[in-house]
Amino acid sequence: MPSEPVLTISLDFELLWGVRDKRDRDSYGTNILGAREAIPRMLDLFEKYGVHATWATVGFLFCESKEELIAVSPELKPAYQNKSLSNYSYFDEVGENEKKDPYYFGSSLISEIASRPGQEVGSHSYSHYYCLECGQSVDQFEADLGSAVAVAQKRGIKLKSFVYPRNQSSPSHNDVLRKAGFTNFRGNQRSWVYRATDGTGQSLPRRALRLADNYFNLTGHHGQNTVEIDGLTELAASSYLRSYSVEFSFLERLRLQRIMRSMTLAADNNQIFHLWWHPHDFGNNLDENLTILEQLLQHFSRLQQTHGMISKNMAELA
């Protein structure tokens, strides 16, 4: 248990790679370009409120060119039964570099993040790898992760924190993280509706409950304590900051209050409040999303004064 309450924020930074099996440039490109705009503005807010965050970054985004993307890729690729899940199968549509293809490359943004105070560049695997999907093996995960570590190292970044794509994790995948030198990973919220499953396990009732849980307290408050097993610390999530919803805008107040109440409760109990989202969640309705984020950070400032709450990124917390 930490000696003081902590706010930790993690972002899954992936651009189009995070959703490529479901969406493409035409259907989701605006959000991806919007994410690029959102990142510097989130960084400004983090700086203004002294917030430290971890940016769990897809390894592909570090690459300066398509040539490097291919060169760093492991020989052993994920053998998902559902071929559309493998991001290695989309290289044909990738442009030459970040300037020509801002949907698939992000090295300038990574440099921007790394240059800001308290911001940690972590990992979200090399290819946005799915650990619980049929056909993949632990060896394939190890190969993918090896490329993520290598490409970050080329930029002088040692990866310590990991976020599993689609939150698909298992103890044997954790062993691979340990071996690769990671100190911590983000776990799932402690409720059956948030339990790790493959894509087919994400049934409609579970997704509906998770949606409703953003507005109404259905699963509890999820203030967390760290859990360390053999040198690898699990930092479970407390809440997902979903994007501003135009159709549910009348519920936005409830959503904000639900998160603030959980933050206060975590502060009361000397716990960690771990909030996460994707930059592309802010890619539409950017101003509305930033306003909500700023209101949450103002609440953090209040808790800093009343409860001594501090902000740490994942590596600092582990």
Which residues make up the interface to Zn ion (CB under 5 A)? 12, 14, 18, 165
Would you say 12 or 213 has its CB closer to Zn ion? 12
Q: How far is the CB of 164 from Zn ion (least distance, A)?
A: 8
Residue 242 carries which DSSP code? Answer: P
Would you say 12 or 144 has its CB closer to Zn ion? 12
Q: How far is the CB of 121 from Zn ion (least distance, A)?
A: 15
Would you say 141 or 215 has its CB closer to Zn ion? 141
Q: Are 137 and 76 in contact (CB under 8 A)?
A: no
Would you say 109 or 309 has its CB closer to Zn ion? 109
Would you say 29 or 50 has its CB closer to Zn ion? 29
The region that residue 167 occupies, defined by phi over 0 for left and psi between -120 and 50 for alpha, beta otherwise, is left
Q: How far is the CB of 23 from Zn ion (least distance, A)?
A: 13
Q: How far is the CB of 165 from Zn ion (least distance, A)?
A: 4
Query: Which tokens in the block code for residue 177?
Result: 């993280």
CA angle 58, 287, 6 (to 5 degrees): 60
Would you say 14 or 213 has its CB closer to Zn ion? 14
Residue 222 CA to chain centroid, in angstroms? 17
Q: Are 106 and 38 in contact (CB under 8 A)?
A: no
Residue 311 CA to chain centroid, in angstroms? 17
Would you say 278 or 299 has its CB closer to Zn ion? 278
The region that residue 176 occupies, defined by phi over 0 for left and psi between -120 and 50 for alpha, beta otherwise, is alpha
Q: How far is the CB of 17 from Zn ion (least distance, A)?
A: 8
Contacts of 70 (CB under 8 A, 6+ apart): 91
**Distance separating alpha carbons of residues 164 and 188, to the nearest angstrom:** 10
**Distance separating alpha carbons of residues 58 and 44, to the nearest angstrom:** 22
Q: How far is the CB of 234 from Zn ion (least distance, A)?
A: 18
**Distance separating alpha carbons of residues 194 and 199, to the nearest angstrom:** 13
Q: How far is the CB of 124 from Zn ion (least distance, A)?
A: 6
Residue 279 CA to chain centroid, in angstroms? 9
